[in-house]
Chain A
Amino acid sequence: MSNNWTSEQSQAITTTGNNLLVSAAAGSGKTAVLAARCAYLICDANPPCDATELLVVTFTNAAAEEMRRRIAQLILQRASEKSDDKRLQRQAILIHAAQISTIHSLGQTIIRRHFHELGIDPHFRIMDEDESQLLKTEVVHQLVEKKTHRRDLFGFSTFCRTVCKRTTSCSLKNHPRVV
């Protein structure tokens, strides 16, 4: 591990056994400390944790990949220093499967594991923008058709007039605020 850490930084890296909040200014090395802390937990902490037991949540996919790259590099470095340590060799591979992801991706993992609670298909996948646009349009079409059919006029027409520039329900279907 790098020897250039300040004492606060190394404290942030090596403190275990409780929750920890690291708050510092931009550019003060929070990300580097976090990566070093993850590597420390896997390689040196007592007891060490397994790479697949980590959860690291970032804001963007790019940040998640960067974090994974940094942690992997640190572990690989340690693993090559101790080439007879089988556990470290294994961690260097498993870090690729560690849960380092965005909050959306974490949500997806949880949903995949508990699909039956939601009653959805285990084969589910995330819709892309276009598909979701198509689906929304279709749903609005059906809803509008149903509502107008039922002559649920008071509530629905008030709604139409509120959200649409034009007073017809057909313009509702193309309305950005609705679709």
Chain B
Amino acid sequence: MGTRFVLGQAGSGKTHYLYEVLVDHISQDPLNRHALVIVPKQSTFITEQALACDPRLRGLINIRVTAPDQIGEMALIETGASAGARLDSIGRKLIITYLLQTHIDHLQHYGKSAIQPGLAEKIDQAFLEFEYAGRPLESIQDLIDRFLQNQHSASQTLARKLTDLKLLYQLYRQFLERYNFDSYHRQMQALDAIRNWPFIQNALILVDDFYDLTVYERQILTAVVSTAPRSLISMLVSPHSPLIQNIHHLPEETRLLFKSEHTYRKLHFALTQSGVRLETPTILTESPRFRSPVLKSLQQGLQDRHLPPIKQDPDNPSVQRIETDTPAAEVDAAACYVLDLLRQGYRLRDICILARSIEEYEPFIESSFAEHGLAFFTDKRRPAVHHPLVRSLIALGQIIQTRWSHEGIIELLRTGLTKIRPHEVDLLEDYIRQHHIPPSQWSDSHPWTFSRPVPDDEETVLTPSLFTEWELEKVKEIQTYVRQNLNTLFLSRWVNEKATVRDRITDLIDILKNLEVEKQFQRLILQAEQNKDIQLQEVHLQVWTNVRETLDQIVQILGDVEVSAERFSVLLQQTLSKLDLAITPPTIDQVLVGSVDRTRVTNPKVVILLGMNAGQFPKLIPEQPLLNDRDRQQLSESGVEIGVSSRQALLEEQFLGYLALTRGREKLLLLRTVVDASGNSLEASPFWKWLDQRIESVPTKRLGSRFEQIANPRQAISFLLDWARHSQTHTPTNDVKALYQWVVQTDVESVRKNRDRAWPSLRYSNEAVVCPENALRLFGKRLESSVSQFESFAACPFQHFARYGLRLQTPPESELTALDLGILYHSVLEKLVKRIAEQYLDFTTAPVSSDQIHQIAQEVGTQLRNQIFLTNAQNRYTLDRIQHVVYRLMQAQQFVLSKGSFRPAFVELVFGRRGQWPALELKTPNGNEVLLSGKIDRIDIDEQHSRYAVIDYKLSGKSLSMTEVWHGLCLQLLTYLLVIEANRSSLANGNLLPAGAMYLQIRRPPESVKDPEKAPSPHDPQFHTKIKPRGLLNGDAINYLDPDLGPGQRSELFQIHLKNDGAFAEKGCDAVPVQQFEQIIDFVRDKIVELADQIISGYIKVEPYLINSESPCSRCDFARVCRFDRLTNRYKVLSDLSHREALNQITQTRVTRE
């Protein structure tokens, strides 16, 4: 009878000793005896599991396993105190956030950051630190006074911080008292209750697994131990520790076991001070844990650095190390090692994987272990923010905050907790995107009817919805469903007025009820049950309870507070995103994965340590922002021991290093990454190096090649495939040959299955084929087409097939695009030029005002794509801006045309498609026919000289590249000449000849000038001619275009340069001799019919062109459809010719043909 410490180092069998005493105690009189086992919270599960599995105990009926803070609650309840209201960290933060916001003006120090969401959490932490230290912040006025007296600025700052904390704490306590939540008060009551608690008055008390204790935990333990008749307390203390001789000896901070020895010392003092008579401690000197002699001596060597290093059997080493290139490779190597252990007869539950910060490795472990078919369980709390229920509440918050954003509503529907099915949500999302529906439409009770912009070949036209009747009906149904159920949120009190938190939460719960969320939720639980997914089922149940309790807490704490809708949604989102879940392991055989500091393990046979690098382990714990290291030091000097400083934390890392290295019984594997992502070498952890000092020649493997890391059939086959693809450059090693032979010959089912699936991929070639019959059905022998289709075909046959054969379309952009802008300019110019031509005799002298342009722009703006130019301020601004551009363009045009005798005659002339002119008909060499339709922007006519010129508007500058004409990539402009030629009879006197075809640049980019003074003035005629139209000009018509041009001159108006002998310059001149001009036009005709035959024959190869390094792929909408792959597909390499070379090629082709 009495209280006794059981002391020993790691692996000395302390827990085992305690269990033996427990078994002995219970088995003597199982009916009347009972025991209380006190362990840290994270150890309760494994302790219960271990005791439940001990056959001598026959169950846990008379044994309670708990953590210290739960003891207080148990004692309170069993001694008749009322159950306290539950207040968890979320509730505490809610209160603190509220207090911070309402008392922002009273804060001296933290006022500026008071509205920041993260501050409440830090303040809560500080409150707890002071409570655990036994110095609640109410009682620190003496400290504040003392610091204020000190003139040092650090003391003054600390005094200000403490004043704020004290004020907040007082308000916090008042708040708690009002709602009967006062946890600190309850803690104090609990200590009294323990002393009167009948249960422990004749119970055996076992205290195990503690490395450190907060002041409150120490108070609980003291109360329990001093009340109970018999107690055993195990502590991690070395048998050689000077403390064993003399408890008053102050242990050195650098001692490996400083942390637990310090804890032992303080608990010892606390117990003796409260009158507990301590028996002589039991000291365990053996190390029964370690079955490996190497691990046993490692433990000893870590304690006593003077011991000589030990040797290990090189054939069967207990301690190994692996170096890899990436953290992911570390995990893969660990998985391979585990597989190896399984083959040696180990069970998964014998193995434990630890890292200092397991979060860094978790994603890798999840994927790698799944791939290797290994079951594992990660010991940690899981965030619940991805759970559908939490997501749906957060989405509701988002809907409120963003005033009905589509994202919020779609997110809500996507959670699957409403009656809307996933494919219906897709439909809705599609509808919203395609029809460019503004969020305000949700509150509209009328059903939606929207038209949809469809980019046609030449322009975007509005067509009624392409959705089917059924789909439209469905959209309407969803719209009504959402509007009716979320109706409450539209009410004015939600949007504008202040309402209490209680009202708002009640409304939210009503909405959830209306949406029948509970029904869907039960379906989820049932589904998990049917799939035998116990873990998922538990997650659902926990989330349901947690969400309910959290909402309850919000109402309890802040129920009467009035908040705006926005503040409420922020509160809701912040609170719910902090929810987390504690899941217990679903099976009994699995690898335990955890972090060194938190996870408690029961004697695993094998320990694998990940991330053994400096900086990872020991881990640098950053200074706490609220009370920094210097503050902590000052407090400690004044006798207040709150949480450790970052400096102390670093010293304590040694202790964690010791723990990590001494957990395993038989084997230990350390892994680390040698280089970081940018290739810099990484320093190994000091603990990694400890092994070198303690053990002679630790085998250290450097994992490099993928071959070594092959651990399952999938990896083997994927390796072989990779090798086969590069077989030209890689000669196989014997290992690879052997692997190949094995994979080919084996009968193992899983390998065969993978192999049969993988082998055909080697023959993969990304080819697109359509049979001639189908091609004919698609395009017909009479190909109705437009010139841009031929250009598209010349760029890449598959692109053409995707767009015009399959008729694929990209979803319409919700924002303004270049296409919209192009249509806008074209329409405005069309209307403007037409009006001028109708009203005035001479285009060049007609008055043009920007008001007139403005008016036309506004007219056009209302007609385009669901009035996109009017939907928001930016687009309206863009619409306003175009008058300047058009005005300047018109001035320039008037100036240029006034020099010659050309005048605009036709605008937006449509050929084919029931336009003014019929489609252009061409016959192909293979006997097919082509019908070309399109639209010519403008035709200018010089009646005096019987000439016409084609004008094509372009948003930005472009010249006509002869190389592109030669390759068929740019045919449109010149095709217009063919069209006019065919319809010559309907022009003026029916006898006109071509003068040229030109691109006219609409927008003028800013030009760089050396000096602002040298910038041309808009009133200067040269200003108008700075940007010249570019294209192809007929040599015999240049004098009609620019009458002033003579030999040896450059034209001011067009891109024409005459040499001294009157010939055209070879560079920088758009004009060509008349014969060549005609040859080029003929060439274009030939090119079109040639391409037409190819299209009709069904040539749809994925074959984009490549000129130098340029290909059409970067601008292609169908890159994701064709899946062009450099390994299997080839570019069609086109030569980049100079202007002159291209002209020569064209001429030669024509000459040979003739």
Contacts and interface: CB of A to CB of B under 8 A. Distances in A.
B874 A169 contact: yes
Contact of A89 (B254, B629, B650): B254
A123 B116 CA distance: 9
A160 to B, nearest CB: 8
A112 interface: yes
B252 A121 contact: no
Contacts of B874: 144-145, 148, 169-170
A96 B821 contact: no
28 contacts: A62-B680, A90-B253, A90-B651, A93-B618, A93-B651, A94-B651, A97-B650, A109-B623, A112-B625, A113-B625, A116-B113, A118-B113, A119-B116, A122-B113, A122-B118, A122-B122, A148-B876, A149-B873, A157-B881, A166-B1005, A167-B881, A167-B884, A167-B885, A169-B874, A169-B877, A169-B878, A169-B881, A170-B874
A152 B680 CA distance: 51
A7 interface: no
A113 B816 CA distance: 46
Nearest to A97: B650
A52 interface: yes
A4 interface: no
A96 B614 contact: yes
A153 B874 CA distance: 11
Interface in A65-85: 65, 69, 83
Nearest to A91: B254
A120 B112 CA distance: 8
B173 interface: no
A169 B647 CA distance: 53
Contacts of B622: 112
Nearest to B305: A83
Interface of B: 109-113, 116-119, 121-122, 252-254, 305, 614-615, 618, 620, 622-623, 625-626, 628-629, 646-647, 650-651, 653-654, 680, 683, 815-816, 821, 872-878, 880-882, 884-885, 956, 1003, 1005-1006
Contact of B1003 (A94, A112, A144, A166): A166
Given A121-B113, A169-B878, A170-B816, 7 more contacts: A62-B680, A83-B305, A122-B625, A148-B877, A157-B877, A161-B1006, A168-B878
Interface string A132-157: 00000000000011001100010001
Interface of A: 52, 62, 65, 69, 83, 86, 89-90, 93-94, 96-97, 109, 112-113, 115-124, 144-145, 148-149, 153, 157, 161-162, 165-170
A127 B625 CA distance: 19
Contacts of A112: 622-623, 625
A153 B1003 CA distance: 20
Contact of B620 (A96, A123, A157, A170): A96
A168 B625 contact: no
Contact of A122 (B119, B615, B683, B956): B119
Nearest to A161: B1006
A115 B650 contact: no
A152 to B, nearest CB: 10
Interface secondary structure of A, over-half rule = helix
Nearest to B109: A116
B1005 A165 contact: yes
Contacts of B253: 86, 90
Nearest to B877: A148
Nearest to A65: B683
A118 B113 CA distance: 8
B119 A145 contact: no
Nearest to B252: A86
Contacts of A148: 873-874, 876-877
A115 B1005 contact: no
B873 A93 contact: no
B81 to A, nearest CB: 37
A113 B1006 contact: no
A121 B116 contact: yes
A118 B816 CA distance: 39
B110 to A, nearest CB: 5
B881 A93 contact: no
B113 A145 contact: no
Nearest to B161: A116
A124 to B, nearest CB: 8
Given A69-B683, A94-B647, A169-B878, A115 B113 contact: yes
Contacts of B872: 145
Which of B111, B882, B885, B1006 has the most CB atoms of chain A within a 10 A radius of its CB? B1006
B141 to A, nearest CB: 22
Contacts of B654: 93
A168 B625 CA distance: 46
A93 B650 CA distance: 7
B626 A122 contact: yes
Contacts of A117: 112
A113 B628 contact: yes
B873 A145 contact: yes
